[in-house]
C-alpha cells in the first residue's frame, strides 16, 4: 500500500505560514522576474486565474478583488519542503520525495489504520510546519496519486466526491463497486501520467473517465499509445508497475539558466551570470556524484522586444577529462561565452548545460596528450585534485546558504548585479537568512 502526501497549494501555503493575514485571501506566486503565476491559492483559482497566466493579464484583480501577488521565494519553499518531508517520512519505513511538495510513502507490511494514520500525518505536518496537506492511499502509486486528487477535490469542492474522502482518501478499502463509482466520476485527464495531448486523444477515442481508461486492454494501449500508458492502465487495475525510488536516477544533463531582470549589454556582467550558472550546475553535478565531459553555454536576446536587434548563439566546449570541479567548469564556460559574445546587443537570458555525464568514480586511463592540464586551466600549471576543496565548498554553502562561497568571477556585490532577477514582491527568507529572521517582541 502506498500513500501520497501532497502540500496544498504549496507555495501559497508557505507564504501564509509567516503571514496568517493572507489566509482566506486570493494569492498568486509569480515566476522568475515576476512574469507569470506559478502557484495559486484556492481563492485565486475561484477568481479564474490560470496556471502560468502572465501577470499583466491578471494584475487588475489586485485592485478589483484584492489579489495578492508575491515573487517566488524558493529558499523559503525549499526549507519548508525539507521540514514537511521529514515530518511525513517518519510514518513509513520508505519514502520517495517526488517533488518539492509531494512524497510517496510505502506502507507495505505496516499494520495500521491507514485513514487514521493519514489524518495523523496531516495533523503532524500542519503542527510542525504550518503546511496543510492531503493524503491519498492506494495499492499502486497511480491509485495513491488519484486518491490524493479525490481527497483534495472533496475538501475544496464539497459535493464533488463524498465528504468522507475529504483530506484523506483510501482507495484500497473500497469494494469494486465503490471504486468504480469514484473512477467514473473522475475525468481521464486527472490521471498521473496522462498529459494534455494524450488526454485529448483518449477523449476523442471515447475514453472520457478514469474508469474507461482502467477497463482498456493493456496490450492494445501499448500498441496504440505507449508502454508508459500501458503501465498506467495496469496500475489503475491494481497491478504494481511503478516501484518506489529511494534515490532518483542520475540526470543525463544538468542545466542552469535564467532570464535577466533587465537587459544586459556588458561582457563583464555576462561573465558574472555564466559563472554563477556554471557553479550551480557543478554543485548539482557533484550532488549526484557525476562528472561532465563537456558543457554548453548560450546567450540570447529577447524575441519579445521587437525594437531590439536579435541575436542568439551557443557553443559546446569539450573537456579534456570529465570533471566536477567548479573552477574548471567555470573557466570553460567563460571561454565559451567570450567566443560567442557580440557587442551591441541587449541580452535577456544566458545559461549553462553540463552534458556527457558519467559516474565520477570512472577514471580515464588513456595517455593525457595535454600534459596533465584540464581545459580551462592556466598553461604550465600541474593539474591538482580539488575533490576535497569542492566538498568543503559544498558543505559551507549548504550550511550557511547558497552563495556563501563563490568562484571569484561571480562577483561579490550580489545585490547590485545587473543581471539579477526582478523580485520586487519577494517576502523575507524567514528560515534561511539571519538578517530576515522574524523577531517576536513582548
| Cα–Cα distance measured from residue 169 to residue 118, given in angstroms and rounded to the nearest whole number | 8
* b/e burial code for range 15-29 (CB count within 10 A of at least 16 → b): bbeebeebeebbbbb
| Cα–Cα distance measured from residue 439 to residue 442, given in angstroms and rounded to the nearest whole number | 10
For the 254-411 domain, the top CATH level (class) is alpha beta
The ranges assigned to domains in the chain are 254-411
Q: Which residues sit opposite 350 in a β-bridge?
A: 258, 299
Q: Are 371 and 291 in contact (CB under 8 A)?
A: no
What DSSP string runs through 120-189? HHHHHHHHHH---EEEEEESSHHHHHHHHHHHHHHHHSTTSS-GGGSSEEEGGGS-HHHHHHHHHTSBGG
The number of residues making up the chain comes to: 442
Residue 198 CB contacts under 8 Å (≥ 6 apart), including other chains: 225, 229
Q: Which residues sit opposite 292 in a β-bridge?
A: 323, 357
Q: Are 197 and 175 in contact (CB under 8 A)?
A: no
**Would you state the cell numbers that stand for residue 138, as one nine-digit string?**
492506494
- Give me the pLDDT at residue 321, please: 85
**Main-chain phi, psi angles of 191, to 5 degrees:** -75, 135
- Give me the pLDDT at residue 34, please: 85
| Cα–Cα distance measured from residue 234 to residue 282, given in angstroms and rounded to the nearest whole number | 39
- Give me the pLDDT at residue 42, please: 93
**Would you state the cell numbers that stand for residue 19, as one nine-digit string?**
503571514
245-289 residue pLDDT tens: 766 667 788 999 888 888 899 999 999 999 989 999 999 999 888
Is the dihedral angle over the CA atoms 265, 266, 271, 272 positive or is it negative?
negative
Residue 8 CB contacts under 8 Å (≥ 6 apart), including other chains: 131, 132, 133, 134, 152
Provide the 3-class DSSP secondary structure of residue 102. Answer: strand
- DSSP H or E run through 75: helix 74-89
- Give me the pLDDT at residue 365, please: 47
- Give me the pLDDT at residue 380, please: 44
- Give me the pLDDT at residue 379, please: 46
- Give me the pLDDT at residue 417, please: 65
pLDDT along the chain (442 residues), means of 10: 95 95 95 88 94 93 95 91 94 92 92 95 96 96 96 89 92 92 94 90 93 94 92 94 74 87 90 91 90 92 87 91 90 94 93 89 54 47 67 77 71 60 82 83 78
Amino acid at each position: 500500500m502506498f500513500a501520497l502526501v501532497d502540500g496544498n497549494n504549496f507555495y501559497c501555503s508557505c507564504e501564509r505560514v509567516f503571514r496568517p493575514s493572507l489566509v482566506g485571501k486570493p494569492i498568486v506566486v509569480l515566476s522568475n522576474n515576476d512574469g507569470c503565476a506559478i502557484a495559486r491559492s484556492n481563492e485565486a483559482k475561484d477568481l479564474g486565474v490560470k496556471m502560468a497566466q502572465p501577470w499583466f493579464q491578471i494584475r487588475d484583480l489586485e485592485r478589483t478583488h484584492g489579489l495578492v501577488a508575491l515573487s517566488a521565494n524558493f529558499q523559503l519553499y525549499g526549507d519548508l519542503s525539507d521540514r514537511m518531508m521529514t515530518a511525513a517520512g517518519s510514518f513509513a519505513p520508505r519514502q520517495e520525495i517526488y517533488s518539492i511538495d509531494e512524497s510517496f510513502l510505502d506502507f507495505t507490511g505496516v499494520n495500521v489504520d491507514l485513514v487514521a494514520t493519514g489524518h495523523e500525518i496531516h495533523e503532524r505536518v500542519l503542527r510542525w510546519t504550518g503546511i496543510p496537506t492531503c493524503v491519498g492511499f492506494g495499492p499502486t502509486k497511480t491509485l495513491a496519486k488519484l486518491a490524493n486528487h479525490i481527497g483534495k477535490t472533496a475538501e475544496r469542492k464539497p459535493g464533488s466526491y463524498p465528504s468522507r474522502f475529504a483530506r484523506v482518501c483510501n482507495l484500497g478499502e473500497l469494494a469494486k463497486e465503490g471504486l468504480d463509482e469514484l473512477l467514473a466520476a473522475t475525468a481521464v485527464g486527472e490521471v498521473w501520467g496522462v498529459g494534455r495531448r494524450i488526454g485529448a486523444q483518449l477523449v476523442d477515442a471515447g475514453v472520457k473517465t478514469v474508469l474507461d481508461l482502467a477497463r482498456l486492454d493493456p496490450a492494445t494501449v501499448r500498441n496504440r499509445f505507449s508502454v508508459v500508458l500501458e503501465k498506467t492502465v495496469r496500475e489503475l487495475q491494481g497491478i504494481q508497475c511503478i516501484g518506489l525510488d529511494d534515490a532518483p536516477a542520475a540526470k543525463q544533463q544538468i542545466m542552469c539558466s535564467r532570464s535577466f531582470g533587465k537587459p544586459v549589454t556588458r561582457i563583464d556582467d555576462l561573465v558574472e551570470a555564466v559563472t554563477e550558472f556554471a557553479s550551480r550546475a557543478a554543485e548539482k553535478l557533484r550532488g549526484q556524484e557525476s562528472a561532465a565531459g563537456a558543457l554548453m553555454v548560450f546567450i540570447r536576446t529577447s524575441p519579445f522586444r521587437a525594437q531590439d536587434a536579435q541575436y542568439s548563439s551557443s557553443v559546446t566546449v569539450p573537456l579534456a577529462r570529465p570533471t566536477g570541479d567548479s573552477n574548471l567548469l567555470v573557466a570553460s564556460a567563460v571561454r565559451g561565452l567570450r567566443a560567442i559574445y557580440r557587442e551591441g546587443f541587449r541580452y535577456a537570458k544566458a545559461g549553462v548545460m553540463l552534458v556527457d555525464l558519467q559516474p565520477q568514480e570512472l577514471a580515464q586511463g588513456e595517455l593525457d596528450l595535454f600534459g596533465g592540464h584540464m581545459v580551462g586551466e592556466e598553461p604550465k600549471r600541474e593539474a591538482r585534485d580539488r575533490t576535497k576543496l569542492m566538498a568543503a565548498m559544498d558543505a559551507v554553502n549548504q550550511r550557511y546558504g547558497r552563495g556563501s562561497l563563490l568562484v571569484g568571477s561571480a562577483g561579490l556585490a550580489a545585490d547590485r548585479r545587473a543581471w539579477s532577477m526582478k523580485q520586487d514582491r519577494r517576502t523575507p527568507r524567514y528560515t534561511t537568512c539571519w538578517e530576515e529572521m522574524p523577531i517576536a517582541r513582548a
